[in-house]
């Protein structure tokens, strides 16, 4: 029996080998889709299956080349990141099960010189390819047998990003390489190649990739290869493997380059494998006056993946290559080559292109993987913490969640009754998941109390006097509030503190009288903008609690609901962030714990009272130390108020 540890090691080694191979194979094919097309056509011709491309001909082979490149690349990425593990491992196995017998036939029959599995980047003999595929087939069998042993580098929730990004990236690479030219040129005619030196080596009998390279005049059959490569200056070569299939959309630019060469005395030759008839038709179509030379068609297709394409030589060295879509224009041809950027080797080195590849594809995926793993790790930590807390707090009493409306000095009697009735009917029909309280002006209390279902909506006043009774014109005592049928009273609101100069001592008396008359106190605390900016918010709320409610016994304090209201956020449209609100709520709970113990602190309801709306209530109420809200303006419309209440759903 193979142990799970050995299985995992074997599967992940095989998975990485497959991933790297598939990614490299798919990428080099996508970088050179025309080269892949030519190789597919070679395969079909060798097998006598050229009809398989159908009426689309070479376009069909090109489409197959692009799809094959994208599929190989994406399977490699999926294996690397362990995405869709069962599917990706089975696809890899199917591909290797098809390719291995095919390469066995190639090795035995040798119909083509190399399989082209890595394009021109890594050229393998047919036998080398066969043994490579045997190893990959074995690896694919291992991975397909135990796909779930693959270690994930990215979570399932983020896999769609990698899937789509990889597909878009590889198709974009293939598309751009078709429009321009391969971004990585592995052929012996790449920019920087010294054709003169390589050709001379071949002429001296040394091994060279330029065996089939020749340039022969069509008019007299003279071989001018040595003349062209030996030229000490600049030479333009228009490369059109087959003029019958050449793209004629840029004829003006081609003629413009030829006229430029004529003006500055640079030789200009057209190279093609087509015959006299095709050349004549091209001249009639384009008005071309430049001389045409005969060259091997396969060599021309190797020189540049464009029909036509343009080559610029200097001293026999390739210093520029352009597809027909990217030919130099009049702005590039405004000065002699000696003074122009065109006349010098491009600074766009292979190293820069590799860096661009890393920046555009590899780096984003690495960062995504790191972020995903960090997120998974923090989720694991949170889950463990939550499990620990749930185990240790199973017996803990849940504190009450409340949404309380403070109507302030709004609504006449009739409007207030109408609003209360609407809320009453709405919440009776759809029971809320939290306690609901409406605190109204004094004139509404008795009328609303007659019909309000206080099992669903609690009724409260916005204030009460600090005296029991007597000659205090305009004041309403706690006893009077209670007699209307109200259950709650708001005390210490910032507007009362600021406009009516209510001090901690006054509020202490109000709290005592409210509790004496069995009213539940919603006690408000909070800092001003200046105090917040000075970093004194903790000092302020602690002093307000100590000045008015920390004198209570534990039993009486348990009846208090605290409402934290950042004064700078009330009626201004500003809102403390959920993190800011949670931080101060947690601090308030901590000083309650210092005074009365953790059990009391955990049971104390602390509301947030700073411009809370339906849009931000879910985020605020999701915080562990925020138990609801004291709502101002948003409580004056039933729909708005219910939107906030629904945040607890």
- Length of the chain, in residues: 649
Predicted confidence (pLDDT) per residue in 138-171, tens digit: 999 999 999 988 988 887 778 888 888 889 999 9
Q: What is the pTM of this model?
A: 0.55
The predicted model gives 532-560 an average pLDDT of 92
**8 A C-beta contact, residue 36 and residue 68:** yes
pLDDT band with cut points at 50, 70 and 90 for residue 249: confident
Distances (CA, A) of 613 to 287, 403, 411, 528, 632: 74, 11, 20, 21, 9
Protein fold of 402-648: TIM Barrel (3.20.20)
Over 70: is that where the pLDDT of 572 sits? no
pLDDT band with cut points at 50, 70 and 90 for residue 554: very high
Query: In the chain, pLDDT over 90 holds for what percent of residues?
Result: 55
Over 50: is that where the pLDDT of 395 sits? no
Say which residue, 352 or 81, is predicted with more confidence.
81
DSSP 115-174: --TTTTTS---HHHHHHHHHHHHHHHHHHHHSGGGSPPSS-GGGHHHHHHHHHHHHHHHH
pLDDT band with cut points at 50, 70 and 90 for residue 393: very low
Which pLDDT score is estimated for 391? 41
Over 90: is that where the pLDDT of 19 sits? yes
Which pLDDT score is estimated for 44? 78
The predicted model gives 418-430 an average pLDDT of 94
pLDDT band with cut points at 50, 70 and 90 for residue 388: low
Distances (CA, A) of 89 to 85, 97, 463, 585: 6, 12, 71, 51
Which pLDDT score is estimated for 390? 45
As a whole number of angstroms, the distance between CA 1 and CA 20 comes to 29
Which pLDDT score is estimated for 35? 84
**In 3-state terms, what secondary structure has residue 296?**
coil
pLDDT band with cut points at 50, 70 and 90 for residue 612: confident
Q: What is the DSSP letter of 194?
A: B
Instruction: Please state which of the four CATH numbers 2.30.29.30, 3.40.30.10, 3.30.10.20, 3.55.10.10 is assigned to the domain occupying 195-345.
Output: 3.40.30.10
Over 80: is that where the pLDDT of 384 sits? no
Arithmetic mean of pLDDT over the chain: 88
Q: Return the active site residues.
A: 493, 565
Domain boundaries, the chain: 4-179, 195-345, 402-648
Which pLDDT score is estimated for 573? 57
Q: Are strands 292-294 and 268-272 parallel, antiparallel or unpaired?
A: parallel
User: In sequence order, what are the residues at sequence separation of 6 or more whose Cβ sits closer than 8 angstroms to the Cβ of residue 130?
Assistant: 100, 103, 104, 106, 107
Predicted confidence (pLDDT) per residue in 614-625, tens digit: 989 999 999 999
Which pLDDT score is estimated for 595? 92
Predicted confidence (pLDDT) per residue in 339-365, tens digit: 888 888 876 666 677 777 767 777 787
**8 A C-beta contact, residue 209 and residue 198:** yes
Tokens matching residue 631: 């709502």
Question: Which of 225-229, 339-343, 596-600 is the least confident region?
Answer: 339-343
Which pLDDT score is estimated for 55? 47
Which pLDDT score is estimated for 394? 40
The predicted model gives 487-500 an average pLDDT of 94
Say which residue, 314 or 47, is predicted with more confidence.
314
Radius of gyration of the chain (CA): 41
Tokens matching residue 635: 């409580």
Which pLDDT score is estimated for 372? 73
Q: Count other C-beta atoms under 10 Å from residue 247's C-beta.
A: 14
The predicted model gives 188-197 an average pLDDT of 90
Half-sphere exposure of 513 (CA within 13 A, CB side): 23
Which pLDDT score is estimated for 160? 85
- Report the C-alpha dihedral over residues 534, 537, 538, 540, rounded to 10 degrees: 110
Predicted confidence (pLDDT) per residue in 451-491, tens digit: 999 999 999 999 999 999 999 999 999 999 999 999 999 99
């Amino acid at each position: 029996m193979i142990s799970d540890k050995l299985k995992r090691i074997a599967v992940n080694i095989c998975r990485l080998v497959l991933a790297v191979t598939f990614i490299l194979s798919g990428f080099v094919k996508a970088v050179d889709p025309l080269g892949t097309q030519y190789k597919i056509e070679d395969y079909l011709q060798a097998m006598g299956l050229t009809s398989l491309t159908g009426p689309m001909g070479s376009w069909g082979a090109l489409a197959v080349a692009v799809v094959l490149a994208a599929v190989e690349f994406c399977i490699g990425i999926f294996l690397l990141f362990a995405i869709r593990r069962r599917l990706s491992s089975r696809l890899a196995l199917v591909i290797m099960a098809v390719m291995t017998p095919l390469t066995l036939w190639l090795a035995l029959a040798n119909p083509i010189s190399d399989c082209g599995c890595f394009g021109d980047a890594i050229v393998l003999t047919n036998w080398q390819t066969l043994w490579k595929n045997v190893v990959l087939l074995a690896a694919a069998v291992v991975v397909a047998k135990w796909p779930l042993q693959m270690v994930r580098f990215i979570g399932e929730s983020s896999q769609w990003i990698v899937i789509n990004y990889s597909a878009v990236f590889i198709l974009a690479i293939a598309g751009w390489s078709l429009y321009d030219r391969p971004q990585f040129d592995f052929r012996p005619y790449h920019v920087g190649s010294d054709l003169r030196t390589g050709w001379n080596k071949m002429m001296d009998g040394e091994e060279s990739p330029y065996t089939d390279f020749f340039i022969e005049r069509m008019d007299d059959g003279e071989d001018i290869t040595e003349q062209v490569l030996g030229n000490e200056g600049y030479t333009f070569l228009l490369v059109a493997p087959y003029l019958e299939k050449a793209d004629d959309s840029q004829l003006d630019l081609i003629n413009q380059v030829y006229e430029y060469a004529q003006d500055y005395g640079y030789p200009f030759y057209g190279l093609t494998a087509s015959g006299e008839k095709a050349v004549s038709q091209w001249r009639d179509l384009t008005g071309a006056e430049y001389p045409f030379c005969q060259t091997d068609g396969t060599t021309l297709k190797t020189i540049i993946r464009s029909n036509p394409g343009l080559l610029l030589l200097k001293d026999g060295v390739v210093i520029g290559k352009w597809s027909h879509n990217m030919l130099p224009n009049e702005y590039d041809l405004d000065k002699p080559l000696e003074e122009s950027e065109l006349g010098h080797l491009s600074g766009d080195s292979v190293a820069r292109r590799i860096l661009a590849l890393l920046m555009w594809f590899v780096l984003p995926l690495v960062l995504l993987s790191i972020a995903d793993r960090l997120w998974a790790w923090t989720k694991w930590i949170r889950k463990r913490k939550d499990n620990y807390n749930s185990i240790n707090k199973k017996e803990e009493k849940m504190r009450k969640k409340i949404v309380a409306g403070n109507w302030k000095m709004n609504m006449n009697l009739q409007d207030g009754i109408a609003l209360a009735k609407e809320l009453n009917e709405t919440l009776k029909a759809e029971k809320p998941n939290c306690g609901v309280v409406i605190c109204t002006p004094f004139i509404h209390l008795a009328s609303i109390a007659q019909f309000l279902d206080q099992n669903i909506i609690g009724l409260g006043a916005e204030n009460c006097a600090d005296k029991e009774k007597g000659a205090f014109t305009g004041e309403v005592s706690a006893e009077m509030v209670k007699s209307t049928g109200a259950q709650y009273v708001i005390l210490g609101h910032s507007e009362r503190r600021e406009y009516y100069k209510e001090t901690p001592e006054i509020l202490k008396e109000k709290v005592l009288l409210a509790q004496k008359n069995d009213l539940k106190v919603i006690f408000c605390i909070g800092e001003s903008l200046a105090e917040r900016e000075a970093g004194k918010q903790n000092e302020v709320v602690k002093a307000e609690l100590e000045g008015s409610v920390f004198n209570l016994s534990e039993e009486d304090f348990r009846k208090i609901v605290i409402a934290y209201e950042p004064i700078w956020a009330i009626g201004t449209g500003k809102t403390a962030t959920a993190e800011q609100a949670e931080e101060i709520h947690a601090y308030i709970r901590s000083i309650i714990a210092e005074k009365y113990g953790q059990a009391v602190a955990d049971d104390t309801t602390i509301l947030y009272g700073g411009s809370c709306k339906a849009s931000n209530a879910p985020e605020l109420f999701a915080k562990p130390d925020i138990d609801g809200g004291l709502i101002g303006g948003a409580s004056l419309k039933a729909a708005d108020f219910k939107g906030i209440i629904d945040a607890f759903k």
